A and B are shown apart, each in its own frame.
Chain A
């Protein structure tokens, strides 16, 4: 609904639930009762001269939609220096620096990601992260000790971890969102713990029972849990994705997998058969050994390329879809990633890492982030100035740290 401040006459848009409640004017700090003015004739509200007119606002009104790019300005050389110093400090401090290194890295990526000329910010306190790391490190030591002395017990520990995983994931989502901000407004994750247990404990148990048929549905629920519960300030993301699209993508991925694998396996057996024939007829020797290695190598590279392509296909399509079905206040999104590009980036990144003994890691990270972020675009109706903050409560870093250590891929 549309409101205006009785003191300074500023006009703004807020969620309908504030109707009749006390609110504070973001401009003059005046507290007043929110009342919808959208039904009033437009000449009643006096639109004040904005104090600051950003570029995207100049021609902006509520009906005018502006396409706004996400700009990623991270540089491989600069990040390389930060990365090496992080590594060095981590070693010198026997690992205690780890949370500072993590925050510095995240901060680098957030503050070099900008839209409408303002960057994102990562606000986590390294001391909170450190607490989480210590707990997780202790857990890992206990697990290792149990695993070394009495392996069957380790299985029980793993089961216990499975039981607390949904809790950690829920905490992690909350922590990550809460510590991400844009223009001084924090993000929030509003999902419930109960839903986390349904998605990360109940559904995984059902997957083998249904012979994997609910797997795409499970993937959908995970995305819905994450995207649909994300909020920027007091504006909740409206996620309209449907599980049927996920089924379509997974079926296509399966068909592609078959389509690409059958010729590959066929080729492999053809070569292998020819090899065997030559071997038996005594015409072998070193040359055939080399040929056999070449065939196995070819097969291995083929499998790697096919699986990478399928993975990236699923990632690209589903990420694009999730963005396109999200509406955050007056903002909609479009994402145009292509599986082919992602596959080329991934394969060349792996090669670069192997050739450089890992030293090109910063370059690979910057490169992929640049691609993913540059393919994302915002469609803003009337400017990015209309979002409001929400009341906050503190969170602990335990969840994030736990996930970080064991590394479950949750990404956007």
Chain B
């Protein structure tokens, strides 16, 4: 850029020498690549080459600092600073940021950009990254993680299975049978009394599947098929490494939100915890859908219907409200929706 060397700019400013807290009203003159500071009686206080001065980037309506030596600086009104700006090699980046900040239109664009990004990242980015990370995890770590989780669950909720031995054996052999049919190796069934967890089943990262006595008893009405469906569903979780992905996605969401809000633990985190819960239950529901599809295709491959599994699902989730607003917080999709999905799957393959 060619500069007019005859150009001379004069602005008033406050001068601080950096040694005392005294404020001095001065006139700042910029000409011939040189900054000169004169006091109100016209006495020269300081002279410095432009290259040795540093003009801070503009920030809204705040006064701007012009460093005139290692310690001394001048404080300029934002208008004066703007008039001087082209003399100084300010970094272009922050000038661009300032350009954005001054315009409501561009701010709106940035806002929409932020919302789109957050939506995209939560809906696609985090699940994708979590899947990559989960499949890269060595199996020893998964085994360790699984046994840790089971130990915690045993301590907090479960007691040893109280089913008759024969029924336990039956359930175990049913489990092995489904495992072989689905070609899912190295899976193990753990029977426990669920207590307050009721009729339930869990898939751990290690490939262990925990099933509660309550669920086994509940399934008796549906014959083997109901329980087979549940086992296939849990094996769906195992093969897709859902438990691990869930843990990773949880950390991902936490990291994203704490980066965006800038401060966890303060007032904002009250507001920030809501999107976190919503996003997590959304992830969890998509895992359930995936596992349901896995279970259904198991039945369809054998030319059977998922009806028995559906009925067991109805029984196990009876009394759990999943209508209205609570639907968005639920970890599982509403049972009615899951059954509809079974029918859709069934019809599409027929």
Which residues of A are in contact with B by a Cβ distance under 8 Å?
12, 24, 26-27, 51-52, 54, 73, 75, 78-82, 84-85, 87-92, 95, 98, 100-102, 104-105, 107-108, 111-112, 116-119, 121, 140, 144, 148-151, 182-185, 232-233, 346, 349-350, 353-354, 357-358, 361, 364, 384-389, 404-409
- Nearest CB in chain A to that of B74: its residue: A184
CB of B16 within 8 Å of the partner chain: yes
Check B144 against A149 for contact (C-beta < 8 Å): yes
- Contacts A91-B114, A111-B63, A358-B272 supplied; 17 other A-B pairs, CB < 8 Å: A12-B20, A75-B61, A81-B103, A88-B114, A108-B60, A119-B75, A149-B141, A151-B148, A151-B152, A185-B20, A232-B21, A350-B270, A350-B271, A353-B270, A385-B21, A386-B20, A406-B264
A353/B267 contact (C-beta < 8 A), A87-B110, A111-B62 known:
yes
- Nearest CB in chain B to that of A79: its residue: B60
Check A104 against B59 for contact (C-beta < 8 Å): yes
Check B271 against A354 for contact (C-beta < 8 Å): yes
* Nearest CB of A to B170, in Å: 35
A91 contacts which of B20, B101, B113, B148 (Cβ < 8 Å)? B113
Lowest 3 CB-CB distances: which A-B pairs, in order? A184-B16, A26-B20, A111-B62
Whole-angstrom CA separation of A357 from B119 in the bound complex: 14
Q: Which residues of B contact A406 (CB under 8 A)?
A: 264-265
CB of B266 within 8 Å of the partner chain: yes
Check B267 against A119 for contact (C-beta < 8 Å): no
A to B contact number (C-beta, < 8 Å) = 171
* Nearest CB of B to A153, in Å: 10
Q: Which residues of B contact A150 (CB under 8 A)?
A: 144-145, 148
Which of B22-30, B157-165, B222-230 interfaces with chain A?
B22-30
Whole-angstrom CA separation of A89 from B96 in the bound complex: 11
Q: Can you list 27 A-B pairs with a CB-CB distance of less than 8 A?
A: A26-B20, A26-B22, A27-B20, A52-B23, A52-B39, A81-B107, A84-B107, A85-B100, A87-B114, A88-B110, A91-B114, A91-B117, A98-B262, A104-B97, A105-B262, A108-B60, A140-B255, A148-B251, A182-B21, A183-B22, A350-B271, A353-B267, A353-B268, A358-B261, A385-B20, A386-B20, A408-B265
B259 contacts which of A85, A90, A107, A119 (Cβ < 8 Å)? A90
Check B267 against A364 for contact (C-beta < 8 Å): yes
- Nearest CB in chain B to that of A385: its residue: B22
8 Å CB contacts to A: which residues of B240-287? 244, 247-248, 251, 255, 258-268, 270-272, 274
Contact with A along B307-320 (1 / 0, CB 8 A): 00000000000000
Check B19 against A82 for contact (C-beta < 8 Å): no
Whole-angstrom CA separation of A228 from B266 in the bound complex: 26
* Nearest CB of A to B57, in Å: 9
A51/B113 contact (C-beta < 8 A), A98-B259, A183-B23, A409-B266 known:
no
Q: Which residues of A contact B24 (CB under 8 A)?
A: 51-52
- Nearest CB in chain B to that of A107: its residue: B59
Check B267 against A184 for contact (C-beta < 8 Å): no
A54/B270 contact (C-beta < 8 A), A84-B114, A149-B141, A150-B144 known:
no
A353/B271 contact (C-beta < 8 A), A95-B259, A385-B23, A389-B18 known:
yes
Check A185 against B267 for contact (C-beta < 8 Å): no
A183 contacts which of B16, B62, B262 (Cβ < 8 Å)? B16
A88/B263 contact (C-beta < 8 A), A24-B19, A111-B59 known:
no
- Nearest CB in chain B to that of A360: its residue: B271
Check B59 against A108 for contact (C-beta < 8 Å): yes
Contact with A along B208-247 (1 / 0, CB 8 A): 0000000000000000000000000000000000001001
CB of B65 within 8 Å of the partner chain: yes
Check B110 against A84 for contact (C-beta < 8 Å): yes
B18 contacts which of A90, A148, A184, A408 (Cβ < 8 Å)? A184
Whole-angstrom CA separation of A406 from B22 in the bound complex: 39
* Nearest CB of A to B78, in Å: 10
CB of B343 within 8 Å of the partner chain: no
Q: Which residues of A contact B270 (CB under 8 A)?
A: 350, 353-354
Check B75 against A118 for contact (C-beta < 8 Å): yes
Check A384 against B21 for contact (C-beta < 8 Å): yes
- Nearest CB in chain A to that of B268: its residue: A361
Q: Which residues of A contact B16 (CB under 8 A)?
A: 183-185
Q: Which residues of A contact B327 (CB under 8 A)?
A: none
Check A101 against B267 for contact (C-beta < 8 Å): no
CB of B192 within 8 Å of the partner chain: no
Check A388 against B19 for contact (C-beta < 8 Å): yes
* Nearest CB of A to B104, in Å: 7
CB of B51 within 8 Å of the partner chain: no
* Nearest CB of B to A355, in Å: 10
A89/B97 contact (C-beta < 8 A), A26-B19, A148-B247, A350-B270 known:
yes
Check A358 against B271 for contact (C-beta < 8 Å): yes
CB of B348 within 8 Å of the partner chain: no
CB of B17 within 8 Å of the partner chain: yes
Q: Which residues of A contact B260 (CB under 8 A)?
A: 87, 90-91
Whole-angstrom CA separation of A95 from B71 in the bound complex: 32
Whole-angstrom CA separation of A105 from B20 in the bound complex: 27
* Nearest CB of B to A28, in Å: 11
A185 contacts which of B21, B40, B117 (Cβ < 8 Å)? B21
Whole-angstrom CA separation of A332 from B18 in the bound complex: 23
Check A144 against B251 for contact (C-beta < 8 Å): yes
